[in-house]
Amino acid sequence: MGLGQWIEIGRLDELGRLDTPVHRLDARAKVITTLVFIVVVMSFPRYEVSALMPFFLYPIALIALGRIPAGCILRKILLAAPFALVIGMFNPLLDHQTAAKVGVWNISGGWLSFASIMLRFVLTVSAALTLIACTGIHRLGAGLERMCAPRVFVVQLLFLYRYLFVVADEGTRMMRSLELRSAGPRSLRLRVYGSLVGHLLLRSMDRADRVYRAMVARGFSGEIRVLRQTSLRWTDWAFTGGWTAFFVAARIWNLADGIGRLFTKGAS
Amino acid sequence: MHMADALINPAVGGTMWIVSTGLIAWCAHKLKQTMNDRLVPMMGVLGAFIFAAMMINFSIPVTGSSGHLGGGLILTILLGPYAAFIVIASVLTVQAFFFADGGLLALGCNIFNLGFFPAFIAYPLVYRVIARDEHGTLRAWIAAIVAAVVGLQLGAFGVVLETKASGISELPFGTFVLLMQPIHLAIGIVEGLATAAVVTFVARARPEALFSARLDMQPRNSMQPVLIGLLIATVIVGGAASWFASTHPDGLEWSIAKVSGQEEVTGTEDNLHKGLGQLQEKTAFLPDYGFKSTATETAPAEKTAAEPEQWPAISAGTSVSGIVGGLITLGLAGLIGFALKARRAGV
């Protein structure tokens, strides 16, 4: 695990605590909208490319309205991209049939489906990341519980998340002290790494146990309380309804193609 | 072997979602009957422990590929199937949200592949049968290795089946299976050894922490010995794993890369065959479509979804308008984003 990854989780957590119109929306509305989004995006036939374009509006609008730095999301998408790249890459290798023509170039079906896979990858990943960035894990957990997710699972999710930060804090401190003692960052030898990670786990487990005791002392009874409005307002309904209508419209009609035809017709 | 959203179709993803959420609800119900308060921090800590263990890649000697610990078997041995399944589900959920490691639609598949098989097949049907509640003996070591192998083999096969059923990737089934299974055999053996080492240590330091001993356990004041046991186990796992740790792609990626490399030859042959059929089809309907009459090509959504094999009609007109329209739409989406942002900044 890289230290950078922990810092990135911290950034997402910070973003999740912002207070913007998007953050104020009920978590349930955003979860359902995101799920609808992903299902609709993945329901396209495999060679579809242009019809996917209008769907970029959703993550982009959330990023803009939620004041989420786009660079942060983009970097995470790029970090996760090699996986989809490797799996998608053999489509052009196995599928050579010509599926489209642009001027004099023939585009094979493999490249088309590869482009489609990469577009869907960017869309689905950015939707999931913006969901967490403009909701935060605590509101998400509370929302999931209200959506009838088992409490044991929600509590476990929140506890796991909390302990991840305990580990991250300890790790940051250890890395800093290591750097101070070894005159700047350097690659760890195996033995150093082993004892470092071992101590990290010991410290974080002790810490986690203390955190739990402290929570019990303060009245934790297996329920996570969130100080937020919890009833669905008309904005939540409008958000989910509006976006769902847009997704369905973009699924039925190829909006990008329509716009493109309008423009190419105008030019010729 | 986390599956991504981009390779799953909604039918497969949705089915596996229903299966996995049902399993979680069932496990939660079972846990509520036996839940003691101490299990809450234990589950959280072990989730974080597995999370860290999953992120360390170890390379498999000779093949030059690498994989990571699933951790499902260790969790099941320590916590029992019900608690373990929920911990695995929570680990995979956090990975999907924060690392984009496995998608939201694929979450059901991932929870099933990495949680169900070790917790409800490999542990009760293999590990307990062979180990017979012994810990630290040769029998227990063999049990752990066999159980880990069985769990991973089933999980890997699940990946193949779900990918194939989704029909988005072009992977040939037989070759994919032949490459996935041996790789996960190797990963399973390494994971089994790591699991056995951890369990042996916990059994020696604090036997009552193991699930089979926990049922009649009296609550103790301190978890310290168990925590220290886990710590040392982690050092062993971390040390062994980091010794192997490498930047090679993990098992799934490697085997797919291998498929794509090997399948090129047979693939072209297959494509020649398909291509001829396609050529026929092309010559048959190409005259009907041109630059002007592209409106009919946008087939009804349901129809195209039902027949993913059907080719979109080949016409330079559609392609050009598709590209122009796509770029314009993308630009529009970006512009709207900037406008919304500017409005926010102005307020």
Query: Does residue B139 lie within any of the structural domains?
Result: yes
Do B297 and B246 share a structural domain? no
pLDDT category at B273 given cuts 50, 70, 90 is very low
CATH of the domain at B94: 1.10.1760.20
**Strands (DSSP E) found in chain A:** 98-102, 105-108
Contact criterion met (CB < 8 Å) for B249 and A121: no
* CB-count burial class (<10 Å; 0-12, 13-18, 19+) for A116: buried
Chain A residues with beta carbon closer than 8 angstroms to that of B4: 83-84, 87, 121, 124
- Structural contact between residues B57 and A2, judged by C-beta atoms closer than 8 angstroms: no
Query: Does residue B164 lie within any of the structural domains?
Result: yes
Do B304 and B239 share a structural domain? no
Domain of residue B314 covers: 289-346
For an interface test with B, give the residue of A165, A190, A205 to mutate (most B CBs within 10 A): A205
Q: Which of B43, B106, B28, B108 is nearest to A149 (CA)?
A: B28
ipTM of model: 0.79
pLDDT tens-place string over residues B298-313 = 334 333 334 444 444 4
Q: Count how many domains chain B has.
A: 2
pLDDT category at B150 given cuts 50, 70, 90 is very high
Query: Does residue B284 lie within any of the structural domains?
Result: no
What's the gap in Å between the CA of B255 and the closest CA on chain A? 10
Do B196 and B100 share a structural domain? yes
Chain A residues with beta carbon closer than 8 angstroms to that of B97: 128-129, 131-132, 137
Contact criterion met (CB < 8 Å) for A209 and B227: yes
Is B273 within 8 Å of chain A by CB?
Answer: no
pLDDT category at B116 given cuts 50, 70, 90 is very high
Query: Does residue B131 lie within any of the structural domains?
Result: yes
Query: Does residue B273 lie within any of the structural domains?
Result: no
Chain B residues with beta carbon closer than 8 angstroms to that of A189: none
Dihedral Cα B86, B91, B95, B96, nearest 10 deg: 0
Is B22 within 8 Å of chain A by CB?
Answer: no
Do B211 and B337 share a structural domain? no
Query: Does residue B277 lie within any of the structural domains?
Result: no
> How many CB pairs (< 8 A) connect A and B?
359
Instruction: Name A100's bridge partners.
Output: A107
Listed by start position, the domains of chain A span 1-149+229-258, 150-226
State chain B's mean pLDDT as an integer. 68
Q: Which amino acid is at A156?
A: Q
Of the two residues A213 and B216, the one the predictor is more confident about is: A213
DSSP labels, A166-211:
HHHHHHHHHHHHHHHHTTS--PPPHHHHHHHHHHHHHHHHHHHHHH
Output the pLDDT for position B226: 54
Cα–Cα dist B278/A22, whole Å: 48
Do B313 and B242 share a structural domain? no
Do B220 and B148 share a structural domain? yes
Out of A88, A167, A212, the one facing B40 most closely (by C-beta) is A212
Of the two residues B303 and B20, the one the predictor is more confident about is: B20
Which residues does chain A have with pLDDT short of 50? 1, 190, 194
Do B306 and B202 share a structural domain? no
Average pLDDT over residues B284-295: 37
Query: Does residue B272 lie within any of the structural domains?
Result: no
Report the predicted TM-score, pTM, of the whole model to 2 decimal places. Answer: 0.72
**Strands (DSSP E) found in chain B:** 57-60, 65-68
What H or E segment, with its residue span, contains residue B9? none
Query: Does residue B266 lie within any of the structural domains?
Result: no
Cα–Cα dist A256/A40, whole Å: 16
